[in-house]
Amino acid sequence: MNSIVEHDPENRYQRTAEKLGEGSFKIVYKAFDSELGKEVAWNQVKISGGSKDSKEDKLNKILEEVKTLQSLKHQHIIECYHSWVNQETEQVNFITELMSGTLKSFVENRKVSVKATRNWSRQILQALHYLHSQVGDKPIIHRDLKCDNIFINSHNGEVKLGDLGLSTTMVETHAQSVIGTPEFMAPELFDEKYTEKVDIYAFGMCLLEIFTHEYPYSECCNAAQVYKKVMRGEPPRSLERMENVAVKHFIEDCLRKEDERPSAEALLEHPLMQDVDGESGTPPSAGGMGGGGGGSVGGG
């Protein structure tokens, strides 16, 4: 058993030294909720670099994002339970639910059926529809949707969106900053003027990766080459190798120009997303596709 190395101010959450994931701005540790008696993910964001005012601006931005995350309540979005700031270490900490692993790691060495992917897709689209329907006419955009940021409970096939730290509430008609993963970024994201439809484009790329087991634009050597292809409207070569014509056309719909791209709500009504053989919206059993989903990773 991992020893406890840190507690939250209320002494409810206990952090271990076991890392579940690490990014450019965040480290995720395994932790324990002593009140509910369950494992959780302890997310730690370090505020470093710049002047005191600059750090304060960063702190306020992160706290605003975490506050947004805590306000989201949807069965297919990683839930954020608690957050606080450690002024001494200049860190923002927030606790989220713990999932079995990422969808990327789960499908990496598995051939996944269209039926299973349909169930995952419906769950993802339901979450996106929820995000895009927030705050009246000011939807929340994920902006960094990819298989690495979609988490799965491997025992029941339930998926949830995580790593919403890059998402933003649109204050005006369009958001005005570029951030994300080039291979999953819609052309308009590079132009710094975009809407929630960028998440639909990224969702299409996620499906492409799931079915082909190939990262989009893997034929490119660097981000500059990816950028050129994206701006020319040239899809990844892996799309040409899609054997399922119906799924290929569905992905192509997701990759259309922004004004032609369907909404999450519209995609949920697409024939490909409809129930088959009377199946409901319940997720598929992951056990039928090869068991567990790799190492545990915390969302958020």
Q: What is the CATH number of the domain that holds 91?
A: 3.30.200.20
pLDDT digits (tens, 9 = 90+) for 213-226: 999 999 999 999 99
Same domain, 75 and 108: no
pLDDT for position 165 = 57
Residues of the domain holding 20:
4-99
What is the rounded distance in angstroms from the CA atom of residue 19 to the CA atom of residue 22? 7
Whether the predicted pLDDT of 175 surpasses 80 = no
Residues 287 and 241 in one domain: yes
The answer to whether residues 130 and 221 belong to one domain is yes
Dump the DSSP string for 163-224.
-GGG-EE-SSSSB----S-GGG--HHHHTT-B-THHHHHHHHHHHHHHHHSS-TTTT-SSHH
Residue type, 284: P
pLDDT for 50 equals 66
Q: Last residue of some domain: 76, 99, 122?
A: 99
Q: Are residues 137 and 277 in the same domain?
A: yes
- Structure tokens, 204: 């299409």
Task: Tell me: do 163 and 195 sit in the same domain.
Answer: yes
Instruction: Calculate the average pLDDT of the chain.
Output: 85
Query: Do residues 74 and 139 share a domain?
Result: no
Q: What is the pTM of this model?
A: 0.84
Percent above pLDDT 70 for the chain: 83
Q: Out of 33, 144, 163, 199, which one is annotated catalytic?
A: 163
Active site residue 163: yes
User: How many separate domains does the chain show?
Assistant: 2
Among candidate residues 30, 65, 99, the one where a domain is terminated: 99
Each residue's pLDDT tens digit, 133-171: 986 657 889 988 999 999 999 889 999 999 875 555 443
